[in-house]
Amino acid sequence: GFLQAVRIGKWKAVRYGLNSSIELYDLEQDRSEAHNVAQKWPELVARVKNVFHEAHSEPSFNQWKMNSTDLKQ
């Protein structure tokens, strides 16, 4: 499946799909990532959302096209 994650200092943000909400964890206080604090830090979530958007790119399948002659050894 689709997963994006980023670490910014003590923060870890995770998203389990393009349309999923971003989860945010304070790793200094919550090493097991049990408490999503995204609602308490909306400005940080907005920053992470921009990072995720900039980092995501659609695959270019054209780069993998091969001719039948490419398969001959």
**What confidence score (pLDDT) does residue 44 get?**
97
Contact, 9 vs 29, CB < 8 A? Answer: no
**What confidence score (pLDDT) does residue 28 get?**
98
CA distances from 65 to 48, 57, 69, 70, 71 (A): 34, 19, 12, 10, 11
Q: What phi and psi values does residue 31 have, to the nearest 5 degrees?
A: -65, -25
Q: pLDDT tens, position by position, for the chain (73 residues)?
A: 788 999 999 999 999 988 899 999 999 999 999 999 999 999 999 999 999 888 876 655 555 565 555 555 5
Longest Cα–Cα distance in the chain: 59
Q: Where are the alpha helices (DSSP H) in the chain?
A: 42-55
